[in-house]
Amino acid sequence: MTFTMFVGWALAGLLAGVLAGLVVSRGGHGLKGDIYLGLAGAIAGSWALRAIGLAPGNSVVAGAIVAFVFAGVLIAVQRRFRPVEPAREEHVMLWRWALGAVVVAIVGWMIFGPVQQPAATAAAVQDKTYTVTPAAMKLTAGIVTAELTDLKVTERVEEGSGRIVSPAKLTGRIILKNTSRDQTVRLIGGKLRYVGAAGQPVKLEDMRTEPTIKFASSASDRLDPGQEASESLDVDFPTAALTAPTLKTIHFDIAYIPSAYREETARFGVAIGGAK
């Protein structure tokens, strides 16, 4: 039982109590007494019906109708078997009509009023992955080699509509190695260029950033002879290049500063004193 259903019972009993004096003016306890009887009959009868499993589902309208019937039955029983002759004539006919109109208006609003729509649920978003062939490659740029691994292109789309939520990105890892024996390398940065089948660059859409690679951390921007450094790759990828014949090659440009690497040995004498 919901709170709305209970309110429907109470309003149905209230309406029955208000209308009782309009239908049968004599034999009642007055407006207050009729309302009390109506509320008692509506709530108690509906509750008992639900307890024995005979309630008319979870419909507020059906519950209110059943509650109104129970309220009317209880008021009719009181009028038939225990009528009361008031000591003075009751002058509340106008109040009954006004209160009845208010109750009818409230019940009508509950039944026919606008229903709050459930909040729209966000559409499911899925990752659409495109394979890159080859998925790994090794390049040489002077004394630095670059190994690109786990390459793939991913875009996020709305399930069902196919609307692109996040444009395509090229992801993977880059492993850089200084192959020199006597030079240190300071990495400046890198850039990818997408080239089409006709040798023309495949440009990114407006408002998207150029696919650059920055070696910002001090741990990876310097490579001594034989040393390696690994960087994650996560750059924008042109939507036009997702069409198979469009993209032919990817150019990887890397900028670095080589410098002579020198290792010297210095000696100094020491003496160890006796233990204390």
Q: Is residue 269 part of a domain?
A: no
Do 101 and 196 lie in one domain? The reply is: no
Q: Is residue 273 part of a domain?
A: no
Amino acid 55: pLDDT: 65
Whether the predicted pLDDT of 200 surpasses 70: yes
Do 108 and 138 lie in one domain? The reply is: no
- Range 205-216 average pLDDT: 81
Give the pLDDT band of residue 153 (cuts 50, 70, 90): very high
Listed as own residue / partner, the contacts of 25-30 with beta carbons closer than 8 Å and 24 or more positions apart are 25/90, 26/83, 26/85, 27/78, 27/79, 27/83, 27/84, 27/85, 28/75, 28/78, 28/79, 28/83, 28/84, 29/78, 29/84, 30/86, 30/90, 30/92
Interval 73-131: pLDDT, tens: 766 776 677 766 654 444 555 455 555 556 665 665 555 555 555 565 667 888 889 98
Provide the domain limits for residue 244: 125-260
Do 104 and 146 lie in one domain? The reply is: no
Amino acid 179: pLDDT: 93
Amino acid 17: pLDDT: 64
Give the pLDDT band of residue 242 (cuts 50, 70, 90): confident
User: Pick the residue with more confidence: 225 or 34?
Assistant: 225
Domain total for the chain? 2
Mean pLDDT taken over the chain = 76
Domain with residue 176: its CATH number is: 2.60.40
pTM of the entire structure? 0.52
Q: Is residue 276 part of a domain?
A: no
Q: Is residue 67 part of a domain?
A: yes
